[in-house]
Structure formats: C-alpha cells, structure tokens
Amino acid sequence: MKLRDHPGIRSWPPIWVHSRSHPVRKQNGEIGTLTGVVFHEDIQRRLFLAIDFEGERYMGGLAFGNAALCKRLYSILQNHVGQSIKQIGDLDLSYTL
C-alpha cells in the first residue's frame, strides 16, 4: 500500500503553506522536494514537512490516526529527504499495517 493510500495517514498530500509570505500563499498536491521532517513530542499525532517548490520553502502538516504510526513515519521520512513528494507518496508502506 502506497503512503498516499494508507488508512492511518489522514492528510496526504498536505496543504503547503509558504513559510514567509503575506498574504499567505498555499499550494496543493504532490509537489516539490522534501527538505525536512519535524516531530514534536507535544503533538504526537502530527508531522510537519518542509519542501522546496520552485525555489521557495513551504511547510505542510500530516495528521495520523495514532502516535505509533506518526513516530514510525517520522523515521522513514528522514531517510527520504531530498526526494520528490511524488516519490514519497509512492512509498510502499504495506508493512506498517
């Protein structure tokens, strides 16, 4: 099962919000290249992803059904920094079910 179809991931792809624009600029879809993944212990069912899209930095959030899957995907995604969001959406996560 691909990441984009995983039942425990509730918000793929994220809505991408430009990190420094006023008014806020948003992008949708499997766009850009993953540049970072952030996990906060206080918010254990969300990850924050940073991407580069057309030379600009955007952030997006992923929501999860449970904290264990969130932590597991955090570890997985750290190994895919530098890949396109489309490639990440294609990742086989069958083993996480």
Say what the pLDDT of residue 20 is: 82
Within a 10 A sphere around the Cβ of 37, how many other Cβ atoms? 19
* % pLDDT > 70, the chain: 100
Average pLDDT, the chain: 93
Of residues 64, 83, 85, the one with CA closest to residue 73: 64
Q: What is the mean pLDDT of residues 19-29?
A: 86
Residue 23, preceding peptide bond in cis (omega within 30° of 0)? yes
Domain count, the chain: 1
Please report the pLDDT score of residue 91 as a whole number: 95
Token pair for 92? 């086989």
Which pLDDT does position 48 carry in this prediction? 96
- Reduced to 3 states (helix: H, G, I; strand: E, B; else coil), residue 36 is strand
Q: What is the pLDDT of residues 60-71, one digit of tens each?
A: 999 998 999 999
Structural domain span for residue 47: 3-96
- Under the banding of pLDDT at 50, 70 and 90, the label for residue 54 is very high
